Amino acid sequence: MNITTCLFPAAGYGTRFLPATKAIPKEMLPILNKPLLQYGVEEAIDAGFNNMAIVTGRGKRAIEDHFDVSYELEAQIRGTDKEQYLVEIRNLIDKCSFTYIRQNEMKGLGHAILTGKPLINQSAFAVILADDLCTAEEGVLSQMVRMYEKYKCSIVAVEEIEKNQSNRYGIIAGEKIDDDCYRVNLMVEKPEPEEAPSNLAIIGRYILTSDIFDLLQNQKPGKNGEIQITDALMKQAQQGKVIAYKFKGRRFDCGNLDGFMEAVNYYYQALRDNT
Ligand code: UTP
C-alpha cells in the first residue's frame, strides 16, 4: 500500500527567530516569497503524498489560512496581472487535503509526532520538519520513498556534518549495507563531539512505521526533558528496523540565522539565473 500522509510538526516556539516568531509561526517565514512550510508541502506532493497532516499550536493560525482559499483576495485581483501570484498555491491546495491537530504543550519532537497520531491511519507515514529546507534534483522525500519500498522499515535521512556540530543533531551509527544506506544500531541525541558515534546526523526527513506511536507513548522524557523521537527510533533500531539514508541534494538549516540566509541567497541566485 502506498503511503500518502505526510506529517509536519510545526508547533515549536521558534525561539531562535524571536522577535520575528512572536506572532508569526517559524514555518511561515518566507524564503523569497514562499513560506518554508510551502516548500515542504511541495516536496511531499512531488513524492506522491496527498494528505498533509499538520501539528500546530497556539498562535499558528496563519498556517491554516495559508493553505486555504482566500475568496476576498482572489475576487479583488481576478482579471488583473496579479492573479498569477496565487496560481501556484491555488494548484497546490487543489492537489491535496490538509488536516490539523494542536499540540497543547511543547514537549519535544517525539511528543509532536505522537500528537499527530489521530491524523494518521496508515501503516507508515512521512515526517517533514519544514525548517530543514532541502533542494535536490529528485526531491529528498521521493528518494526516501524509494528506500522505504526497498527496506519496508523506518527511514531517516542523514547528512555528514562537522563533528563539532554533533550536539545539535541526533547522530547515528550503523552497518553500511549499500552505497548510501546504513542499518542503524545506535542513535544518540545531541551528543558532545567526543561522544558522537559518527559524523552522520539525522535531518528533518523521516519515514516512520506506525509502531512508532506505541514506542512514543511509553517513551520517558530524554535530553532536555523532551520526548525524543531519536529514543523511540532507537528501540526500532534494536530490532534492525531503521535505515539511515544519505540523501542526494542540499539542506539548509533554516532554524538558525546563518542557514536561513544561505537559503535566501541560494534561492535568489537560482531565481536570477532562471530569468
Ligand atoms: P526545533 O527545535 O527546531 O524548533 O524543532 P523550535 O523548538 O520551534 O525552535 P527553537 O529551537 O525554539 O528556535 C524542529 C521542528 O519540530 C517542531 C518545530 O515546530 C520544528 O518544526 N516541534 C518541536 C514541535 O512541533 N513541537 C515541539 O514540542 C518541538
pTM beyond 0.85, yes or no: yes
Q: How far is the CA of 24 from the centre of ligand 1 (A)?
A: 14
Which atom of ligand 1 sits closest to the CA of residue 10? Answer: 19
* pLDDT confidence of residue 1: 61
Give me the residues of the chain with pLDDT under 50, please.
none
Nearest CA, atom 1, ligand 1: 12
Q: How far is the CA of 246 from the centre of ligand 1 (A)?
A: 23
Which atom of ligand 1 sits closest to the CA of residue 25? Answer: 19
Q: How far is the CA of 177 from the centre of ligand 1 (A)?
A: 32
Q: How far is the CA of 111 from the centre of ligand 1 (A)?
A: 11
* pLDDT confidence of residue 58: 86
Which atom of ligand 1 sits closest to the CA of residue 26? Answer: 8
Q: Could you give the CA distance from residue 83 to residue 112 in angstroms, rounded to a whole number?
A: 36
The span from the first CA to the last CA of the chain, in angstroms, equals: 41
Q: How far is the CA of 109 from the centre of ligand 1 (A)?
A: 7
Beta bridge partners of 137: none
* pLDDT confidence of residue 223: 82
* pLDDT confidence of residue 151: 96
* pLDDT confidence of residue 131: 97
Ligand 1 is surrounded, with C-beta below 6 A, by 9-16, 26-27, 55, 103, 106-109, 111-112, 129-131, 255
Nearest residue to 259 (alpha-carbon basis) of 134, 109, 171, 164: 134
State the burial class of residue 61 (Cβ atoms within 10 Å of its Cβ: 0-12, 13-18, 19+): exposed
> What is the CATH topology of the domain spanning 5-273?
Spore Coat Polysaccharide Biosynthesis Protein SpsA; Chain A (3.90.550)
Mutate to test the pocket of ligand 1, among 39, 104, 109, 134 (most ligand atoms within 8 A of CB): 109
